[in-house]
Structures are given as structure tokens and as C-alpha cells.
Chain A
Amino acid sequence: AQKVTQAQTEISVVEKEDVTLDCVYETRDTTYYLFWYKQPPSGELVFLIRRNSFDEQNEISGRYSWNFQKSTSSFNFTITASQVVDSAVYFCALRPETQGGSEKLVFGKGTKLTVNP
């Protein structure tokens, strides 16, 4: 079974603070992908990053960084120097790497981030 847990339901920070969103996953597959998507108030989910289970290198993209630790089944997301525009619901998701198999993404329940000015 596949499961994604985002224990933080809501987080509120003040602009310029750093914030980390936690994601813990469960899967029996040896090969899988992990994702983060952002859902602003408009409702349209926006892809942020994909990480293959074989690639445990951390990644940085501007103010965003991701920490993938297979040993703890975690894929955490950090926003450095947060801005008001970062306010959104952030979803972590999991999908096995398949050849002709299921293509469904399994999403966590999301973490609502509010960045106050």
C-alpha cells in the first residue's frame, strides 16, 4: 500500500522566516517517485519538483530546497526567506515507477502555509 503523511495541517510564519514542510511516505516498491505540488487559492495545482527513489541528492532551486532521506522515508521541503506569495497549500505525493502499470499519484492531505507580512 502507498501512503503519504503530512503531519502539519497548517503553518503560519512571518515573511522572511524559513519554513520546513514535512512529508513521510510508505511504500513497498523499490523504485518510486516523490513530488511536491503547490495549490494556491485559485485551486490549480502546480508541479514543483520530482525526485526518483535512487537519487538521494538534495536539491536547491532558488529559495526552495528539498531533503530526501530514504532511511527515514522522508521528503521534506524548505522555503528560505518566505514571501507572502508562498502562501498556499503544499502537497507531497508518491508514485511507483511503472512500465505500463498504475499512473496514479497518491497525495498527502496537504499543509496550508500562510506567510504574513
Chain B
Amino acid sequence: DTGVSQDPRHKITKRGQNVTFRCDPISEHNRLYWYRQTLGQGPEFLTYFQNEAQLEKSRLLSDRFSAERPKGSFSTLEIQRTEQGDSAMYLCASSYPGLAATGELFFGEGSRLTVL
């Protein structure tokens, strides 16, 4: 499968715990995006990378959230001290400059976080 891969697909955690999600983009894509989607809502932008550089962060990305893409390939999204409001689907997408400039993104199936 050469699509965008996310792991784990579902994570259940207790409030206050840390969680980390991983995203493996399509191999030739140098742009990687994280979005968050809560029930009944559209995806909301969190951040994006071009290669290893984090170029844009949403104000939604509080201090408890951190994203990395150390070698310009896979990316991790960590949430520290989780809160119930963090329960959502975390979507990863990738693209390359020609398509990214026009907004055509390739999404993974998402990682669903449930905070108890």
C-alpha cells in the first residue's frame, strides 16, 4: 500500500497521559499536514511541514501539542497531559509542491483519540 499511513488507528487513554501518533506520508511527498476532526465537524488545520521544517502552526496547537518531522519523512504528533477535549480524529495528509500549492492533499485514515 503506497498511501498515507497512520498509527495507531485508535488510542484510548486516561486524562493526563501523553500520547503520540505517527504518520508515514507517500514516499515522494515532501509536504506533510496534520488536521484534527471532531465529531460532526470538518477537519481543522493544525500544522504543516515542508521536508523537516515546520512552516505553519495553527493557534489550535496549544503548548501541549508538538509535531516533528526529523528527517523529512515520517512525522509524529505528541499530545502531553491529554484532556477530554482532545478527543478527536487526527488526520495526516501529504502532498508535493505542485499539488500542495493547489490544495490537493492525500489523506490517511486517521488516528482516533479517546480521552477518558
Known contacts A43-B89, A44-B109, A102-B56: A108-B103 contact under CB 8 Å: no
B108 touches A44 (CB 8 A): yes
**B107 in the interface (beta carbon within 8 A):** yes
B104 touches A50 (CB 8 A): yes
| A97 contact set on B, CB distance < 8 A | 101
Question: Complex: how many Å from CA A42 to CA B55?
Answer: 29
Known contacts A91-B42, A110-B42: A42-B109 contact under CB 8 Å: yes
User: By the criterion of a CB under 8 Å from any partner CB, how many residues of chain A are at the interface?
Assistant: 25
**B77 in the interface (beta carbon within 8 A):** no
Nearest residue, chain A, Cβ from B55: A103
CB distance from A105 to the nearest CB of B (A): 6
Known contacts A42-B109, A45-B91, A104-B56: A109-B40 contact under CB 8 Å: yes
Q: Which of A26-54 contact B (CB under 8 A)?
A: 33, 35, 37, 42-47, 50
Nearest residue, chain A, Cβ from B44: A107
Known contacts A33-B102, A108-B42, A109-B42: A103-B56 contact under CB 8 Å: yes
B43 touches A47 (CB 8 A): no
CB distance from B84 to the nearest CB of A (A): 21
**B25 in the interface (beta carbon within 8 A):** no
CB distance from A42 to the nearest CB of B (A): 6
**A93 in the interface (beta carbon within 8 A):** yes
B107 touches A35 (CB 8 A): no
Nearest residue, chain B, Cβ from A52: B102
A105 touches B103 (CB 8 A): yes
Nearest residue, chain B, Cβ from A34: B103
Question: Complex: how many Å from CA A47 to CA B108?
Answer: 12
**A43, A91, A95 interface centre (most CB from chain B within 10 Å):** A43
- Offer 14 A-B interface pairs, CB within 8 angstroms, sorted by A: A43-B110, A44-B110, A45-B93, A47-B105, A91-B42, A93-B42, A93-B103, A95-B103, A97-B101, A103-B103, A104-B56, A105-B105, A106-B45, A109-B41
